């Protein structure tokens, strides 16, 4: 079963963790040759790959990195780990998100995920018992 690009222009769908969308962009070009002027209409189908921010925030909520509003919270389970281990874990998770979603055409959602992870890391480090 083939999916034609005309059918895609009416639909958005999830594929390999991305939210895919096809948009039609109409461009009008005015051209003039000697004394004759004419307009050319060009329809370009743009294929957007968007980070599925709502689904990713739900995953971060389940993993207890943030609350349901997307506000970062401390990862209390990790507060007994060393500072190095906590930072290393957060960096690996953030790096994996970045590598996977780096091909996205709209990166705003990815920046939101990085924000949540960074501040969750900071809150986890701040929660650690102080040693004197």
One domain, residues 35 and 92:
no
Of 43, 41, 40, nearest to 6 by C-alpha is: 43
One domain, residues 40 and 63:
no
One domain, residues 80 and 120:
yes
Strand ranges, E, within 34-101: 36-50
Residue 132 lies in a domain: no
Residue 82 lies in a domain: yes
One domain, residues 88 and 100:
yes
CA distances from 2 to 6, 7, 11, 47 (A): 11, 10, 15, 17
The confidence score (pLDDT) of residue 2 equals: 46
One domain, residues 30 and 89:
no
Host H or E run for residue 30: strand 18-33
Q: What span, in angstroms and rounded, lies between the C-alpha atoms of 110 and 102?
A: 8
Q: What span, in angstroms and rounded, lies between the C-alpha atoms of 80 and 104?
A: 36
Q: What span, in angstroms and rounded, lies between the C-alpha atoms of 112 and 51?
A: 10
Residue 122, judged by CB atoms within 10 A of its CB (0-12, 13-18, 19+), counts as middle
One domain, residues 68 and 18:
no
pLDDT in tens, the chain (132 residues): 444 444 444 566 566 666 666 665 556 666 666 666 666 666 666 667 777 888 889 999 999 999 999 999 999 899 889 999 999 999 999 998 888 888 777 778 888 999 999 999 999 999 887 654
The confidence score (pLDDT) of residue 19 equals: 60
One domain, residues 65 and 122:
yes
Q: What span, in angstroms and rounded, lies between the C-alpha atoms of 131 and 82?
A: 12
Report how many domains make up the chain: 2
Residue whose pair of structure tokens reads 């790959």 in the numeric block = 49
One domain, residues 63 and 99:
yes
Structural domain span for residue 119: 52-127
């Amino acid at each position: 079963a083939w999916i034609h690009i005309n059918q895609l222009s009416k639909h958005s769908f999830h594929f390999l963790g991305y939210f895919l969308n096809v948009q039609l962009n109409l461009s009008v070009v005015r051209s003039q040759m000697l004394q004759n002027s004419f307009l050319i209409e060009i329809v370009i189908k743009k294929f957007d790959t968007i980070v599925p921010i709502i689904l990713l925030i739900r995953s971060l909520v389940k993993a207890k990195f943030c609350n349901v509003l997307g506000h970062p919270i401390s990862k209390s389970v990790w507060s007994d780990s060393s500072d190095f281990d906590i930072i290393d874990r957060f960096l690996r998770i953030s790096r994996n998100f970045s590598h996977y979603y780096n091909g996205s055409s709209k990166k705003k959602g990815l920046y939101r995920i990085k924000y949540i992870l960074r501040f969750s890391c900071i809150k986890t480090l701040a929660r650690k018992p102080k040693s004197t």
